[in-house]
């Protein structure tokens, strides 16, 4: 479904964030993209979603394609219309708008069926239904994370990219968020990539694991081989 070949990504023309990376995601997969701080996880996801130009970033070499179609040079809105949604770090939403308004705004690019999808998102995250009139700025970190995942689902993506959804959340909240992601993956047949440093819960549900370090893939393995101890060794080396 997604195929990055020998991809090198740079910021400001000189900062090499990703260097010659091969990364493929099969339809129906749930891929864990792991690596320590600065490994290049967010940069790779931003390149897929077409967001690099907003940070003076660029694809310096290689190819990125979705269903065999090159994504290079495409505007993020066109990439979103192809069915790719990126939930970036930082839980971006309109904090002054209500939960319902945020979810509705997220469906503007794909208005058909939006009411049904809103119901679906409320079914996955019942507290969003209960609190739908409240400003998003009043939510806790975990609740905000669920809102931004819900917003991504309003665009009916076939490929959902989640950048460090667990950041700053309590272990219970991480469990809750990943439980819902796993259900969506199964029930809605959405292909998922989750970038994280290490989350045991993610390793339990992943179908494939990539480990990045300093911009390179240092490990590509089935999840059974990516135990915490092996990852720690890779991170520390
Ligand atoms: N906007 C930017 N401008 C310049 N350099 C950047 C920018 N964003 C990231 N970098 C650099 O690119 C490299 C990869 O960063 P990236 O954010 O992709 O790592 P990451 O794996 O997502 O790390 P983390 O786990 O801390 O989020 C780092 O060296 C970082 O300093
Ligand atoms: Mg990151």
Specify the pTM: 0.95
Determine the pLDDT at residue 121: 97
Residue 119 CA to ligand 2 centre (angstroms): 31
Determine the pLDDT at residue 153: 96
User: 171 Cβ partners below 8 Å, 6+ apart?
Assistant: none
Nearest residue to 152 via CA among 205, 204, 112, 92: 92
The DSSP element (H or E) to which 32 belongs, if any, is strand 30-34
Q: In Å, how far from its chain's centre is CA 19?
A: 20
pLDDT in tens, 67-87: 999 999 999 999 999 999 999
Q: Could you tell which of 42, 51, 90 is best to mutate to test the pocket of ligand 1, judged by most ligand atoms within 8 Å of the CB?
A: 42
Strand order in the sheet with 30-34: 84-87, 159-163, 191-196, 30-34, 208-213, 216-221
Mean pLDDT across the chain, nearest whole number? 94
Between strands 15-25 and 2-11, the pairing is: antiparallel
Determine the pLDDT at residue 144: 94
Q: Which ligand is nearest to the CA of 163?
A: 2
pLDDT in tens, 18-37: 999 999 999 999 999 999 99
**Distance (Å, rounded) from C-alpha 25 to C-alpha 17?**
21
Domain ranges (residues) in the chain: 1-83+192-237
| CB 197 near ligand 1, within 6 Å | yes
The DSSP element (H or E) to which 211 belongs, if any, is strand 208-213
Residue 215 CA to ligand 1 centre (angstroms): 9
May I ask the CATH architecture of the domain 1-83+192-237? 3-Layer(aba) Sandwich (3.40)
Q: Could you tell which of 19, 38, 59, 213 is best to mutate to test the pocket of ligand 1, judged by most ligand atoms within 8 Å of the CB?
A: 38
pLDDT in tens, 144-196: 999 999 999 999 999 999 999 999 888 999 999 999 999 999 999 999 999 99
**Distance (Å, rounded) from C-alpha 50 to C-alpha 84?**
10
**Distance (Å, rounded) from C-alpha 35 to C-alpha 49?**
19
Residue 232 banded pLDDT, cuts 50, 70, 90: confident
The answer, yes or no, to whether residue 89 has pLDDT greater than 80, is yes
Determine the pLDDT at residue 233: 81
């Amino acid at each position: 479904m997604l195929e990055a070949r020998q991809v090198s990504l740079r910021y400001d023309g000189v900062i090499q964030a990703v260097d010659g990376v091969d990364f493929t995601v099969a339809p129906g997969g749930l891929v864990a993209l792991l690596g320590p701080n600065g490994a290049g996880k967010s940069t790779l996801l931003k390149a897929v979603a077409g967001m690099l130009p907003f940070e003076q970033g660029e694809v310096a070499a290689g190819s990125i394609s979705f269903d065999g179609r090159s994504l290079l040079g495409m505007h993020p809105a066109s990439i979103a219309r192809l069915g790719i949604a990126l939930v970036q770090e930082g839980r971006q939403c309109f904090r002054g708008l209500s939960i319902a308004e945020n979810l509705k705004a997220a469906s503007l690019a794909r208005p058909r069926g939006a009411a049904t999808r809103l119901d679906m998102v409320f079914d996955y995250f019942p507290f969003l239904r209960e609190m739908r009139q409240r400003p998003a700025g009043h939510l806790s970190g975990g609740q905000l994370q669920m809102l931004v995942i819900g917003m991504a689902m309003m665009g009916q993506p076939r490929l959902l990219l989640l950048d460090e959804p667990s950041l700053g959340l309590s272990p219970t909240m991480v469990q809750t968020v990943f439980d819902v992601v796993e259900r969506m993956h199964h029930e809605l047949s959405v292909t998922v990539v989750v970038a994280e440093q290490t989350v045991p819960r993610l390793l339990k549900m992943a179908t494939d694991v990539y480990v990045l370090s300093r911009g390179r893939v240092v490990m590509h393995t089935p999840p059974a081989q990516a135990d915490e101890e092996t990852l720690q060794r890779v991170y520390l080396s």
